[in-house]
Amino acid sequence: MNAHPALTARQHPVVHVANLVRSFGRGPNILDGLDLAIRAGEFVALLGRSGSGKSTLLRTLAGLDEAPAGTVTVPAERAVVFQEPRLVPWKRVWANVALGLRTPDARERAVAALSEVGLSHRLEAWPLTLSGGEAQRAALARALVREPKLLLLDEPFAALDALTRLKTQGLVASLWRAHRPAVLLVTHDVDEALLLADRVLVLDQGRIGFDLHVNLERPRRHAQPAFASLRSRLLRELGVEDENPVEPVEELRTPVRNTAPAAPTHRLEDAVWAASADALARS
């Protein structure tokens, strides 16, 4: 794997993956000739059925899996947040955030990051005394303090209750606006992907099977007709029937599909078009 600090300029992709192949033992290829580029500052969500290889891809980008074949170029400055906060129980919250920082101002930086996630009052707390939402905010601070050019998030909200989940999604959106790392968010939640991301990808049969540019103004709301239309489209791509399908509207850019869709989607494609035109008109 190449780690290229120089590849962080805005005009270059910060992530460039070509022909990535990964299998385990004698099993089939989980990632099978996967190509992916993510631009500086771009927020990308990754969907796909359970076992399709999302975490495998994320671990590869994080440098936690050295076995794959292919080309993987990522920035040296990257950070990961998992579903579990993975805090060290015997270090105080601020020390968890400062873990691994080698600068004399490590504590100040940790304090500033914890302030950004609303945890100034829990600096000296032990991790086991934090609520689930607080612990995940501490994990976000630990990622943020490294000023990553690439932030990798593997279902970071999945273990949170519905309200905390919404708040934490909002926090990630505002941290992204303030710091502008490129983000790869693995999620099972189509709404979450559409609320947060510039692009939504679907991993299927070891490759990016579908690539949807989300041309909706922010902040996004479920009530937007264009939102509902894109939601229906993605659910269809995932092979899930939408319980409340909406009349399709259009999108500005034609989604890229690299593999066959689950079912013919002509009407939905028309629908996605109208949605984007609507979004553009309002921007």
Residues near ligand ATP (CB under 6 A): 24, 30, 48, 50-56
Among 20, 44, 48, 55, binds Mg ion (CB under 5 A): 55
Q: Which structure tokens are listed for 236? A: 């269809």
- By CB under 5 A, the count of residues binding Mg ion is 1
Rounded distance between C-alpha atoms, residue 4 and residue 160, angstroms: 34
Q: In angstroms, what is the minimal distance from the CB of 67 to ligand ATP? A: 9
60 binds Mg ion (CB under 5 A): no
> Least separation, in Å, of the C-beta of 223 and ligand ATP?
28
Partners of residue 180 on adjacent β-strands:
none
Least separation in angstroms between residue 282's CB and ligand ATP is 34
Of 30 and 235, CB closest to ligand ATP = 30
CB closest to Mg ion, residue no? 55
**Nearer residue to ligand ATP within complex by CB, 56 or 96:** 56
Residue whose C-alpha is closest to residue 139's, from 168, 173, 176, 106: 168
Residue with tokens 């500086």: 40
Provide the minimum distance between the beta carbon of 65 and ligand ATP in the complex, in angstroms, as a whole number. 8
Binding partner at 30 among ligand ATP, Mg ion, none, C-beta below 5 to 8 Å by kind: ligand ATP
In DSSP terms, which residues pair with 186 in a beta bridge? 46, 154
* Nearer CB in complex with Mg ion: 188/257: 188
List C-alpha distances in Å: 253 to 185, 204, 263, 280: 21, 21, 21, 11
CB of residue 176 to ligand ATP, shortest distance in Å: 22
Angle, CA of 74, 6 and 80, to the nearest 5°: 30
Choose the one of ligand ATP, Mg ion, none that binds residue 283, judging by a C-beta under 5 to 8 angstroms depending on kind. none
Stretch that binds Mg ion, among 31-39, 48-56, 125-133, 205-213 (CB under 5 A): 48-56
Query: What are the residues facing 21 on neighbouring strands?
Result: 32, 69
Report the nearest approach of ligand ATP to the CB of residue 275 (Å).
27
Angle made by CA atoms 191, 61, 31, in degrees to the nearest 5: 80
Q: Give min distance, CB of 190 to ligand ATP, in A.
A: 14
For the chain, count helices (H), then strands (E). 8, 11
| Cβ atoms of residues 69 and 220 within 8 Å | no
User: Of Mg ion, ligand ATP, none, which one sits near residue 53, judging by CB under 5 to 8 A according to partner kind?
Assistant: ligand ATP
**Interface with Mg ion includes 276 (CB under 5 A)?**
no
Chain-centroid distance of CA 212 in Å reads 14
Cβ–Cβ under 8 Å, residues 157 and 184 = no
For ligand ATP, the closer of residues 30 and 197 by Cβ is: 30
Binding-site partner at residue 52 among Mg ion, ligand ATP, none, CB < 5 to 8 Å by type? ligand ATP
Nearer to Mg ion, 55 or 215 (CB): 55
DSSP 90: T
**Rounded alpha-carbon distances, angstroms, from residue 195 to 25, 137, 217, 231, 283:** 38, 19, 10, 10, 16
Residues in contact with Mg ion by CB under 5 A are 55
